[in-house]
Amino acid sequence: MTKNSIFTGAATALVTPMTETGVDYEALGKLIEWQINEGIDALVICGTTGESSTLTDDEHRQVLKYALEVAKGRVPMIAGTGSNDTAYAIDLTRYACEIGYDAMLVVTPYYNKTTQKGLVAMFTAIADASTKPIILYNVPSRTGVNIEPATYAKLAEHPQIRAIKEASGNISKIVETAAVVGDKLDIYSGNDDQIVPIMACGGKGVISVLSNVMPRETSELCRKFFEGDVAGAMELQKKYLPLVNALFCEVNPIPAKAAMSAMGFCQNRLRLPLVPMEDAHYEMLLQRMRALGIRV
């Protein structure tokens, strides 16, 4: 049985603008408006790029609620509700469902990690509590745990588990995953340097950091591919690669927030342990943005 896609194309894993004292809601609202006006296909609020791990519980809920109020149903809205504390992830998931999110992005447990059996138990418990679709988020470089293809196959049987954000970087494993899950789970790239390769494996698009800076262009890259212009999509993938590399030259979202600040969207303010990027890296980032015609 085919499950309906949450979105096709590019979803921005949105930065969370901050001030010295808290979240900058005015900046967040303007950023959401710009993203939607630029034609982004979906938005992820309070993901890794949104610094969810250092938001207080009140902030997390308020940011989710505010973003939904600004978006007004114009694009699919996805809430980052994952945690290494399963009970907390369930709590956040229930809240995001209640206020009207279209889907949840749930990361593998970090630091405490778990076994493959534990991943099935955790994701099942969260999906059981959700009235909306779940996107599993696999990012072993951050969490220290990897979802194996056989584990995806088990999780694909749950009616609420609909998709994967794959940021392992391992194309061979992603091909194997696509083979075992078939049309039961959509696959989204979690790496901006692999958008076209993962779509070529049957992927439905990307959950992107690049699209913070270039929402229209990232969406267009996906659109070209789905309209059959694979060569054109690959040309854009290669064209944007230097900027993608700059956006990941330090830990995400350090460069992304620097880029959005340079574009005038927010302050270049992060929460510890994240700190602003090195001057040399910042200059490289600005050069690569300018090379693509971005005004900074």
Output the CA–CA distances (angstroms, integers) from residue 162 to 1, 7, 211, in the order listed.
12, 11, 23
Answer yes or no: are the C-beta atoms of 35 and 14 closer than 8 Å: yes
Spatial separation of the C-alpha atoms in residues 68 and 76, rounded to whole Å: 10
Answer yes or no: are the C-beta atoms of 126 and 134 closer than 8 Å: yes
Spatial separation of the C-alpha atoms in residues 211 and 12, rounded to whole Å: 5
Nearest to 220 by CA among 248, 239, 201: 239
117 catalytic, yes or no? no
Spatial separation of the C-alpha atoms in residues 95 and 109, rounded to whole Å: 20
Tell me phi and psi for residue 42, to 5 degrees. Answer: -170, 165
Answer yes or no: are the C-beta atoms of 106 and 135 closer than 8 Å: yes
Q: Which of 101, 132, 137, 282 is catalytic?
A: 137
Q: Which of 132, 165, 184, 204 is catalytic?
A: 165
154 catalytic, yes or no? no
Buried/exposed code over 4-24 (b: 16+ C-beta within 10 A; e: otherwise): eebbbbbbbbbbbbbeeeebb
Which residues, listed in sequence order, are joined to residue 13 by a DSSP beta bridge?
44
Residues 6+ apart with CB under 8 A from 160: 127, 128, 130, 131, 132, 133, 134
Residues annotated as catalytic are 137, 165
